[in-house]
Amino acid sequence: MAVLKEVPLATQGQTAEQGITLYYVYDALCGWCYGFSPVINDIEAQFAGIELKLEVISGGMIGEDQAQPIRHMADYILQTLPRLESMSGVSFGEAYKEVLREGTRVYSSLWPSRALTAWKQQFPERQLEFATALQKAIFTDAETTDNPELFSQIASALGADVDRFREVLNSESNHYSTQVEFQFAQELGITGFPALVGLKAGKFYLLARGYTPYEQLAETMKALMAD
């Protein structure tokens, strides 16, 4: 039987609500989050029949002041990818692997995070869909993450009002909302990605820290619902 671990410090200011809210704390640049995508998508699909709300929270893994050429991490990532692919079943594109080998690409989490925040304005019920498409663009197609037009193209392909999306993406309120998400992830005590936190009856529970297989997470979800 899965054991639930309460996250006590995050309960401040929270009120009990009906149903369960899942906070999926991820980062668009996190390879393990990309590997976790099939798991969290399957969890959302399996438990969609209950009163469950999924919020995808950007964790801000690489701030603008931390951004540097990928060569500083490339060897480690390339060594990790075979194990990640084997465990998760996802595949990283050859174009992305070539970016790692070339080493000059600079990544920052800010703009991909702002893109997700902008998407939520139109489709709060489809957050995971955009997050998944965004990671596919990064890790399969090797798209850059400092090009707002990429985010607009993804939003358009998924049915967004692109003019509205662009307006929100570039607004000061969007920047502020994204910073609030980063802060919320810190308040939850999340220092690594992916992570999954459940909120039920005003209490937070840590459901997953790091890549977690579907079978294990499904058992934890059942424990949360039964608690």
Cβ pair 38, 212 in contact under 8 A = no
Which of 85, 91, 86 is CA-nearest to residue 142? 91
The distance from CA 128 to its chain's CA centroid, rounded to whole angstroms, is 8
Spatial neighbors of 121 by CB under 8 A, at least 6 apart, are 164, 165, 168
Residue 127 scores a pLDDT above 50: yes
Query: What's the mean per-residue pLDDT of the chain?
Result: 92
pLDDT of residue 146: 86
**CATH number of the domain to which 181 belongs:** 3.40.30.10
Residue 13 scores a pLDDT above 50: no
Radius of gyration of the chain (CA): 17
Q: Is residue 216 part of a domain?
A: yes
Spatial neighbors of 167 by CB under 8 A, at least 6 apart, are none
pLDDT in tens, 26-50: 999 999 999 999 999 999 999 876 6
CA pair distance 99, 106, nearest whole angstrom: 10
Cβ pair 19, 52 in contact under 8 A = yes
> How many structural domains compose the chain?
1
CA pair distance 34, 165, nearest whole angstrom: 24
Q: Is residue 86 part of a domain?
A: no
Cβ pair 31, 80 in contact under 8 A = yes
Domain range for 142 is 5-61+108-226
Whether the full predicted model's pTM is greater than 0.95, yes or no, is no
